[in-house]
């Protein structure tokens, strides 16, 4: 009888220890799962932060590239407008170039062709749709045929024609300035017909 009771007691202790062991193992497993879940969560947050940093770096790189792509005459327009106090934020927005091979200025003429007016209509619509206090420098450029004085006057006449037309489309005169570069700022080789056509142009530099 004593033996039976002792055996029962031993078995009870053994079962209790076994049960405790199982409970401890289950607890450890639960805690391990919780820790792993938290690690995964933190890792996910780190990856999201890294993604945002990469996107930020890409935006900075894109901005630097855009600044690098600004033409020399656009940079000069920005400097002139800043010095004159014409800008709200002192920023370059974009540049639209109307080349002679696209808008068909007549030889030695400043009259706007149908193609030129159509391009200027689109430009004016964009300026008005953006609804920003922009400042526009209208730049007249020519090829190298003829004297410096002749080309300066021709560039001025074409730029003036563009300014007047834009005004009829609702762009205020006081938000525009006109300058002629004549033949001093070519963007292509004047030795070829195609190059001269590209150099005969009016550039619209939009600043804010």
Q: What pLDDT score was predicted for residue 191?
A: 95
The residue among 187, 194, 26, 3 whose CA lies nearest residue 95 is 187
pLDDT tens, position by position, 93-106: 999 999 887 787 76
pLDDT tens, position by position, 37-68: 665 676 667 566 666 555 544 443 333 334 44
- Predicted confidence band of residue 130 (pLDDT cuts 50, 70, 90): very high
Domain boundary assignment for the chain: 1-69, 70-207
- Predicted confidence band of residue 107 (pLDDT cuts 50, 70, 90): low
The residue among 175, 195, 90, 161 whose CA lies nearest residue 131 is 175
Q: What pLDDT score was predicted for residue 62?
A: 37
> Cα dist. 183→39, 78, 177, 201 in Å?
66, 20, 19, 10
Q: What is the CATH number of domain 70-207?
A: 3.30.1330.60
Range scoring the smallest mean pLDDT among 15-24, 44-53, 161-170: 15-24
Say if CB 91 and CB 207 are below 8 A apart. yes
- Predicted confidence band of residue 164 (pLDDT cuts 50, 70, 90): very high
Give the ranges where the chain is alpha helix by DSSP (H). Answer: 2-69, 72-83, 100-103, 114-130, 148-168, 193-199
């Amino acid at each position: 009888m004593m033996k039976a009771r002792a055996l029962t007691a031993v078995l009870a202790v053994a079962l209790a220890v076994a049960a405790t062991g199982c409970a401890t193992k289950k607890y450890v497993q639960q805690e391990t799962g919780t820790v792993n879940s938290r690690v995964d969560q933190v890792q996910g947050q780190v990856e999201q932060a890294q993604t945002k940093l990469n996107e930020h770096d890409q935006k900075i790189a894109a901005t630097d590239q855009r600044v690098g792509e600004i033409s020399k005459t656009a940079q000069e327009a920005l400097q002139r407008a800043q010095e004159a106090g014409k800008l709200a934020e002192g920023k370059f927005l974009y540049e639209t170039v109307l080349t002679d091979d696209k808008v068909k200025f007549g030889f030695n003429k400043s009259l706007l062709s149908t193609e030129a007016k159509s391009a200027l209509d689109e430009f004016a619509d964009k300026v008005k749709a953006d609804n920003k206090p922009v400042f526009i420098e209208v730049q007249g450029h020519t090829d190298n045929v003829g004297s410096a004085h002749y080309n300066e006057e021709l560039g001025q006449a074409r730029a003036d024609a563009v300014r007047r037309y834009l005004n009829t489309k609702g762009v205020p005169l006081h938000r525009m300035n006109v300058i002629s570069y004549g033949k001093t700022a070519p963007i292509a080789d004047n030795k070829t017909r195609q190059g001269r056509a590209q150099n005969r142009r009016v550039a619209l530099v939009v600043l804010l």
